[in-house]
Structure 1
Amino acid sequence: MSEFWRRLKPMDVAKWINFGGVSGEWTYAPDQPTGMAALQTEGVAHLWSVLSRSPVALLADEVGMGKTFEALGVAALLWRKKPDAKILVIAPNRDICLHWQKEFGSFARDLYVKADDFVKSKKDGKPVPPIGAHYRLPELTEAIEQRSKDKAPTQFYITTIHALSGLLDSADASNDKARAAGKVAKKLHERILAATGGTGFDLMIVDEAHYFRNRRGGSQRVAAAEEFFGKPESRIARRTLLLTATPSHTRLGDVANILSYFVDQASLEGKEVDDLMRTYALRRFRRMEGQGTSYTKHQYRREIATPCRFGDNPQDEMFFALYQKRLIEDCGVADEKRRALYGYLEGFESAGHRDLARDAQSENEGSDDERSKDFRAAADTQLLQDMSGDFRGLFGSAPDHPKYDGIVNLCTPSELFEMATDRCLHEDKHLVFVRRIPSVRELTKRINERYDELLAKHIADTHGWDEESRLRWKKSNWSREVFNEITGASTRRDIDSDDDQMDEIEGESESVDEHDYLRSRVADLFVTKKAADGRPPAPPTDCSRFSLNLRKTTGIFSMLLEPASDYQSGAYHWHYHFVQGGKQRMDFAKAAQMQRMETRPEFPRDALDALRPHDGDQREYDAPIETIWGRVFDHLPAPQRGILVDWATAQPRIAENFANYIKAGFLFASPVIVELYGWYVTFEQRLADEEKHANVQRRYRKFLDFADLQIPDSLLLKYFISAIATFEQLCTKIIDHEVDAWNKGWRTLTTLSSPAWYASGESSHRQHLILGFNSPFYPNTLMATSVFQEGVNLHLQCRKVHHYGIAWTPGDNEQRVGRVDRLFGKVNSLLQQQGPDTSALEINYPYLKDSFDEDQVGSFIERKYEVEDKMDRCTQGDFDREIHLNRSGWEVFLRKPVPDAMLSDPYPALFSRS
């Protein structure tokens, strides 16, 4: 036994790690009721003890239990005992690598008890061990070699599972690519051992370890992993901690396959999965705490099957009848090629619209080989393309798609701006899982189109247009040109001044994106288009002028979305005046920021100097100027008002950061900008002619008084309340952003102008979507593929998951639901507020009624029900994918909340609680 690895008790862990939060009152006590903090404390002690006697431990706690924090707890205790310990994390893809970096910061700040300069810095409370993230194994190896040469102190390395599949150059001509990949991995293994004095890593953490369950798959990943992880006599790491919520992902042999990379094969032979789990593993069920008790998933999950039917278009139904016939004939159902059937009804409407090869590659970074085939093609891809092409030729359009329509109906509200006072914004958040990229795009486009109808109706209502004008605009697909013709926008002037100065404004469109056809057309009306690529700028609209004037600091209406001067309800008293280019200029928003910050020592003086215009002076307003923030403050519920008061009085940097956040969300990533525009149009219609040309300060105050009357039942108030409630958690848990970073511009939100979007493309854009979906702002509906199936937190605002394309296995299905069903998210907070009956997590399975689609969904639900309990206890056999042609009775297998469904942990931590 290593001197560093000696068995621990939970009380030993609690001396250094408080899973209840270092600022809270929770402490570990053996005789207390079992809560999540106690389970995590015991989990770390148990895993440490397993590693004291074995080279590997398996943390198999259920999805959403904080396995990352438990693993970091093990790492932190190792650094306590051996400060120069080298630790490697291998995660599926870059997004999850970023998640590990964020969580390490949160762990040190929020859970690690004492600043000791081993794990947590005494200077700033941040992590001490330096992090090196390298997404390719050659880069990781070179970094380790260079740091060894320089004697640099990096002790925490992060790389991707995908790196094991990408060792060969695309031009490699080897006949046996798996063998060639193994040779490359072996050399990297040897170089790392040489650079570390033959010891390798002290601890390796493998996240989502079920990626290694296909031990005999013959893939490059398997061959590379065998050589990189090493043989028993030369392991790349002295100890390995495996993490997966679904160790028995598809079959009983999965557990042994995963372990076989890290222990002698002889120690696995003849062992049942139960023996292996008891020897190496820890498996507990998640418990959501609320209303004085805790709940297991079966007490609050609700599965719903939504039937989708054809309308009164016989040609559409005939299309699908022919498709089913051709599917059986051409795709060989009789030859067990059932994978085609799982792709049924997906994607034909966009087939051929774009070359999907590049997207397929980015979609499948880190995914297993079987799932990746869905994105590139399926057995029925060509069939769908040919048949839909023929249909378009005959009828001029694609056939109606009942499942698309069903998802659109589920994911879009019936109205936006007439929301009942008890309607919550989180009800509009939907996570939709699909398999094929064409379906992702088609659903994105259709949901944005449905939202555009709601947004356009509101705009038309506020203008008072007749039915002819409304229909004309709709037929133009909400075009800027027709909108301008109807509104006479070319003759309208700025709402606050004749100042034509243009600032560098965030969020403007400078080029045409290849996916612009998917975006919200109505949101585009609020964008000022610049000239690009030799093309003239698109004409401004009344909407874009309004939005610009809310952002242009030289106009008084830029004050509307500024925070109150004291971050509560205070007014402003002066603005800047200066001369530029021989013209008299004023700056209102920068002067407001100066007034908020100049009396507060928390803000740096050099930042204040940057706010003053050259040779500018201060001019008094003719009366104090307020903002909409100050008016909203009086309408806030007590909890949110209390949070704002705390920020304003004790942490003004957080208040300033929140002000930037809420402003960006209102202007770019929510229907609030449409609501504000509607208010202004209505206000202007009611102004007498002489008032329209009155002093701009007086006109601004009149508009603010008008807006104040609209606030109680407004979207603006709802978004403000929701944003306050989740702001600090969003900063610290989702984006690893200092909550008091007062000068952050929140540019990410300026890119999220559409109500629906999809998770694909570059990793950086995925991070934008993660932020937006976890905020109350856009996207409201997120279409996701397997790239968001694991390791991604999407739980702060959402409680609804839709399986447009059903998962391959119950393990995949559970991983999907786990993106939302997590601790400290919306489901958790609703359980605390209301209990399980009214806040069940909704899991929806849409299907085409009375078709083969119903057969496949029904068969999956029935078989999933049969194996779920076994999967939860890691005793699942092979999952039978047979599709039963029987359309009755399967609905009884949909899960409903069961009040007394308390479960005992199958493989608990082995500690006495007495």
Structure 2
Amino acid sequence: MTLRDQSWLRTFLDLGAHAQQGNISSRDIERQEDTVLRALEILQDHPGVVLADEVGMGKTFEALGVLAARAHVAPESRFLVITPGPDLNKKWTREIRRFIADAGGGRKVYGGLEPDAILDVGRLGDLLVEAPRRRVLIAPISLFLRGVRDDHADLLDLFCRYKRLPGPTRAAIFRRFRDGACQREPAETFFGKFNYAALEPHLAAAFTRTDGNEPTLDAAYAEHGNELFSADNKAGKILDLLDLARYRLARALLPTFDLLVVDEAHKLKNRETKRALSLSQALRQRFRNALFLTATPFQLGIDELRQVFALFSLAQTAPLDLRERAENLLTDIRDYQDAYAGFERDWGRVDPVLAAELGQHLERSPDLAQLPDNPALRPVALHLRRLIELKDTRIEPALRRWMVRSRRDDRFLYRDHRPRRLPVEGPAMIPFLAYERLIAELFDQKHPTHKAAVEINMVSSYSAAQRSEMLSDEKTAAIPSIERYRGLLRDILKNLSDERDSHPKLSHVLGDVLRAAEERGEKTLIFCARIQTLHELQRKLHDAWEDRLLDRWRHAYPDATHTDVFGERGEDRHARGRHALLQQRFHRTQDFLYFALRERYLQTLLDFEDWGERHLDAIVERAEPLLRQVRTGPTSAERINFCILKRVVERAAVDLRRERDPAWARDFADVIQRICDPRFIPHGYDLVKDELEESEDGHLTPTWNISREHAQLVVRSRPHLWTYFRGNMYGLPDERRIQLVERLARYLTARYVPFIADVIARAKSAGLAVDPVPSRELLDLVDDFWQSPVGRGYVVQLRQFLQYFHYELSEESQDKLLDGELLEGRFVRQTSDGEARERLRETFNTPLYPMVLIANEVMQEGLDLQRSCCRVIHHDLPWNPAQLEQRVGRVDRLGGRIHKLRDKDRDAKLEILYPLIQQTIDMRIHQVVRQREKWLEFLLGAPPDPQEYAEVNTPPPPLPTALADRLRIDLRPRVPS
């Protein structure tokens, strides 16, 4: 492929097709185009390229752009995308479907692939069968490790056939293997897909030595015979040999892929892991080029780059000296690190006057060909000269041959990192000291533990400390000194269960989250590695939010208790408080309040204005015969049912105006047709019997009449909630509109949403009786509520929700959101609820509740959580700075809330909180992570900043701006001229 430019790329690729819906700037679209072009350029001369953009800058779309360009040039080419797991398979499938779908206005990102050319596979057999048939396959790396036991039996059967072993020998082998657990008759098909004839040509490649280096099952069997398969034959390593045969057989069956895309490639940094070995064995020489996606190509050390090159060496286009090149680059980087360490040490001795003098000298001699006259600056200048020489001639050119990385240069401006050092003094220190003393005693008695791991339990929460293995280890239970300290610690922790002795970190996080939610309406994403802490945080946040809600209720009922308002505390409640009773009234069809949260179609869909009020008597007269045609159950026959009344009056009003105003009727023909349909009165606007709207069914005729006053509630022109969303409600289909109105009505009255409390407080301040609450008067107050400052907040939130729902979600995702428990209005959710990551993603991305998501490691990669959140709390710190970046990257992404806020206010901040308990391992982890982060940032394109990573109270002066830019390693796709 020859060098291409943006004009060529845009002839078949429109990366900006979804830009408007995603709030993506034209500048970002151009950057993504440049990245695609640069990656294609690198792949012309090299076996692979690393797309290393910072988290949230669109690597997936860029990778698809590279894939599309290769597909455009070679229409018969095939592609394989390897993801970290099944959840990421779903994300990639969704993104590719979006990539090739109509984005509106006839625009597509790429139109060169058909949907049936793309497949998400989950098992090895499916991959092997579908690879020759499809152009794009998406597979989790775990696919190579799934179903291994069944595959082992298949492989053993194949081996026996390949060796033409007689039946008794085969039976003897299967009796020995895994103590006979895999015994069976000879199989008809293998891997659930293939017959023997299809696999026979490839068995030699699977079982015999081909390169003189790898061990093989055939060679081991020649040495050990049937005993190879005995459980006690450790020398044979039969399971490893079977795994190797499995991967080699897969390799023989797979076609050649034009491009192998590996998402979250840093997960393969350890070449000894099963996943890295399986990928290497199964895909060696089965792809021409590789595209690795990772924001953190190295995490704990630069040596991890060695594995990147090792994986690139598997490509058909890899040069023989690739690993030698990798070693040379690593040597150069170490030299660079040594030179920078020397510079940083000497820079720490420079005062602001000398720093300014160096800046002036650099203006005269940017490359320091001439050293400064001042002897105090010469050591610094010598280090800088070495750094510039290494950077310009070795480091940057070498990295640019393999890597493309864009970064947000302004993120240091809007990312507000907030380490909070939490003091623990006096009696509060006792549990921490006792915990450390128990650890010390274990070491004294020659029973060491992983000190850092157990220390993290205590700084996470008392619950995590109580449930740590250290407090239940039976191996040391018989040692009196250990058990004495252990018993003391158990007693201390047990007595700390009272609320007044809350853990210092939990207390700080609770207060911070509640303030953000209540005072600023901000969502918070909390990362917590200890499952016990996660549960305790969720429980305490639930309880604390209920207490905040109780304070709101007390605006109307000053002496109310928790039981008065909510019934008994807890999730499973039977005693009903004020909230439950009022909640019921908003949804009971025999109550005026039923009108409060339902859409009144004459105002929202038909622009009736005051026509109904001017013709009220005629409408009532028209409505009575319609009411007599209704058939319903006993309750609605004897008592006014406001749902039936509303539909009957709406039908009568539309009928009457259609007769008297034909021009109006033509303008609203579709809506009129629905309301005049015979199914409208019994089943509602969607004309379908379901649980969303009250569907009336029975054999009785209502005995009540429609009064003029009641009809006026339906036809009057005063605004209500849904008049703020009149018209087509963002183009949603009618059936979906009905779903939304009903679900959101339930959401607003949910237990943890303060809507009812706010309405009752407003009623009390307006002089309305609140004990008991009069429904008719409260209905008018609710209609007015949406124009109050508090009410407008709900309207804005609902508008944001509807925009997200319509523009950002697929129909499948919309269904999941509405049919699940996602609109129940829970204040806090957490990842161990058993709910799929995707469902949690959808609900947290809405502007509605939950306000807090407590996540463990499963949520820190591969999910977009940026739509409504720009706050992150690292409750438990990892040692790996890349994990911190991945966490923050869940909310700092293109089109995210923080970037929308910054479009309006350049001072808006993405808040990143680090609660650190003083004099504990928290402080050490934070210090280590910061030092590791320095090199992660610097080698990947950040300008060096000795101030930011200084470990002294008096930091050194800042580097001159020109010097910081001169030292910056530039991996951007297009280097400014």
TM-score (norm 1): 0.70
Query: Displacement of 1:736 after TM fit?
Result: 3.4
Residues 1:244 and 2:294 are matched in the alignment: yes
The correspondence for 2:594, drawn from 546, 550, 558, is 558
Unaligned runs of 5+ in 2: 151-177, 182-230, 331-394, 471-481, 613-618, 655-667, 680-684, 690-694
1:18 aligns with 2:14: yes
Instruction: Report what 2:430 is aligned to.
Output: 318
Q: Which amino acid aligns with 2:323?
A: L
Which sits farther off after the overlay, 814-823 or 256-265? 256-265
CA shift at 1:296, angstroms? Answer: 2.2
Percent of aligned pairs with the same residue?
Answer: 18
Q: Any conservation in 2 of the 1:16–1:114 contact (CA below 8 Å)?
A: no
| Residue equivalent to 1:796 | 867
Name which of structure 1's ranges 37-46 and 219-228 shifts more when overlaid on structure 2.
Answer: 219-228
Alignment of 1:433-444 (within 5 A): 433-444=527-538
1:413 corresponds in structure 2 to 515
Q: State the one-letter code of the partner of 2:492.
A: F
Structure 1 residue 443: deviation in Å? Answer: 1.4
TM alignment of 1:589-668, pairs within 5 A: 599-600=670-671, 608-611=686-689, 613=696, 621-625=710-714, 630-632=719-721, 647=729, 659=741, 662-668=744-750
What amino acid is aligned across from residue 271 of structure 1 in structure 2?
N
Deviation at 1:806, TM superposition (A): 1.3
Decide whether aligned partners of structure 1 residues 438 and 175 sit closer, same or farther in structure 2, where only a CA change above 3 A counts: farther
**Who is 2:211 aligned against?**
none
Superposed CA deviations along residues 675-715 of structure 1, whole A, max 9, x for unmatched, are 367369859994599995xxxxxx44x32221244334465
Question: Counterpart of 1:747?
Answer: 819
C-alpha displacement of 1:725: 2.8
Matches within 5 A, 1:352-367: none
Aligned-residue offset at 1:446:
1.6
| Equivalent residue in structure 2 for 1:480, among 567, 583, 588 | 567
1:223 to 252, 258, 277: 277
Aligned pairs, how many? 751
| C-alpha distance in structure 2 between counterparts of 1:390 and 1:827, whole Å | 46
User: Could you tell me which of 57, 61, 64 is aligned with 1:65?
Assistant: 57
Aligned to 1:769: 840
**Distance (Å, rounded) in 2 between the aligned partners of 1:673 and 1:81:** 57
Look at both structures and tell me which one has the larger radius of gyration over its CA atoms.
Answer: 2
For the structure 1 residues 539 and 409, does the alpha-carbon distance in structure 2 shift closer, same or farther, using more than 3 Å as the test?
closer
**Pair 1:783–1:891, CA change in 2 (3 A):** farther
Provide the residue aligned with 2:972 in structure 1: 908
Say if 1:179 and 1:86 are closer, same or farther in 2 by CA, change over 3 A.
farther
> C-alpha offsets along residues 600-619 of structure 1, whole Å, 9 cap, x if unaligned?
49999998442575689999
Mapping 1:860-871, distance limit 5 Å: 860=928, 862-864=930-932, 866-871=934-939
Shift in Å, 1:111: 6.3
Partner of 2:423: 309
- The DSSP-based 3-state class of the residue aligned with 1:855 is helix
Letter in 1 for 2:509: I
* DSSP 3-state at the match of 1:302: strand
Aligned to 1:782, the other structure's residue is in SS state strand
Shift of 1:645: 5.7
Given candidates 333, 345, 348, the residue that maps to 2:459 is 345
The 3 A distance-change label for structure 1 pair 725 and 166 is same
Report SS of the residue matched to 2:138. strand
Aligned pair in 2 of structure 1 residues 100, 394: CA closer, same or farther (>3 Å)? Answer: closer
Q: Which amino acid aligns with 1:759?
A: T
Give the superposition deviation at 1:396: 6.8
CA distance in 1, matches of 2:6, 2:913: 40
| Structure 2 match to 1:202 | 258
- Pick closer, same or farther for the CA change 1:774–1:853 going to 2, 3 Å: same
Which one-letter code corresponds to 2:265 in the other structure? A
SS class of match (1:411): helix
Structure-to-structure mapping, 1:666-705, within 5 angstroms? 666-668=748-750, 671-675=753-757, 678=760, 682=764, 686-687=768-769, 699-700=775-776, 702-705=777-780
d(CA) in 1 for partners of 2:81 and 2:727? 41
Tell me: CA distance 1:22–1:626, structure 2 relative to 1, closer, same or farther (3 Å): same
Matched, 1:859 2:908: no
Structure 1 residues 406 and 221, CA, compared in 2 at 3 Å: closer, same or farther? Answer: same
Alpha carbons of structure 1 residues 280 and 178: separation in structure 2 relative to 1, 3 Å: farther
Please tell me the root mean square deviation across aligned C-alpha atoms, in Å: 5.0
Structure 2 partner of 1:707 = 782
Q: Which amino acid in structure 1 is aligned with residue 97 of structure 2?
A: G
From 109, 117, 121, the counterpart of 1:134: 121
- The corresponding residue for 1:491 is none
2:521 maps to 1:390:
no
Which amino acid in structure 1 is aligned with residue 428 of structure 2? D
Q: Which residue type is aligned with residue 480 of structure 1?
A: G
Alpha-carbon distance in 2 for matches of 1:902, 1:704? 63
1:547 pairs with 583, 593, 597, which one? 583
CA distance in 2: counterparts of 1:208 and 1:890, whole angstroms: 38
Pairing 1:402–2:504 present: yes
User: What do the CA deviations read for 1:130-179 (whole angstroms, capped 9, x no partner)?
Assistant: 543334xxx2x32245557xx9x644332223445555459897969998
SS in 1 for 2:300: coil
SS of the residue corresponding to residue 872 of structure 1 reads coil
Amino acid at match of 1:711: W
Given the superposition, is the C-alpha separation of residues 308 and 206 from structure 1 closer, same or farther in structure 2, using an over 3 Å criterion?
same
Distance change in 2, residues 1:524/1:631 (3 Å): farther
Aligned to 2:368: none
Q: Is the 8 A contact 1:112 1:120 kept in 2?
A: no
Letter aligned with residue 47 of structure 2: P
| Structure 2 SS opposite 1:159 | strand
Measure, in 2, the Cα distance between the counterparts of 1:74 and 1:590: 60
Q: 2:403 aligned to 275, 281, 287, which one?
A: 281
| Structure-2 separation of matches of 1:745 and 1:910 | 41
Encode CA deviations 1:513-544: one digit per residue, 9 max, x unaligned: xxxxxxxx47866xxxxxxxxxxxx3554433
Structure-2 change in CA distance of 1:705 and 1:116 (3 Å): closer
Distance 1:716 1:854, change over 3 A: same
Q: Is the 8 A contact 1:16 1:113 kept in 2?
A: no
| 1:45 aligned partner | 37
Q: Is the 8 A contact 1:229 1:261 kept in 2?
A: no
Structure 2 CA distance for partners of 1:840 and 1:723, relative to 1, 3 Å: same
1:721, distance to aligned residue in structure 2 (A) = 0.7
SS at match of 1:440: helix
Structure 1's 161 and 676: CA in aligned 2 closer, same or farther, altered over 3 A?
farther
- Any conservation in 2 of the 1:252–1:874 contact (CA below 8 Å)? no
Report 1:128-277 matches (<5 A): 128-135=115-122, 139=123, 141-147=124-130, 154-164=134-144, 166=146, 168-169=148-149, 180=239, 183-184=242-243, 186-187=245-246, 190-191=249-250, 193-194=252-253, 198-215=254-271, 218-230=272-284, 234-235=285-286, 237-263=287-313, 264=318, 266-269=321-324, 270-272=327-329, 274=395, 277=399
C-alpha deviations, 1:356-400, integer Å up to 9, x for none? 9xxxxxxxxxxxxxxxxxxxxxxxx99998665221556775953
Asked if the contact 2:877/2:925 (under 8 Å) is kept, the reply is yes
Q: Which amino acid aligns with 1:706?
A: L
Q: In 1, Cα distance between the equivalents of 2:544 and 2:580?
A: 22
Q: In structure 2, the residue corresponding to 1:578 is in which secondary structure?
A: coil
Aligned in 2, Cα 1:453/1:629: closer, same or farther, shift over 3 Å? farther
Letter in 2 for 1:202: D
Q: Aligned in 2, Cα 1:285/1:391: closer, same or farther, shift over 3 Å?
A: same
**Aligned letter for 2:243?**
V
Give the letter aligned to residue 491 of structure 2. D
Contact conserved, 1:79 with 1:118, CA < 8 A, in 2?
no
Counterpart among 268, 285, 299 of residue 413 in structure 2: 299
TM-fit CA distance, 1:48? 2.5
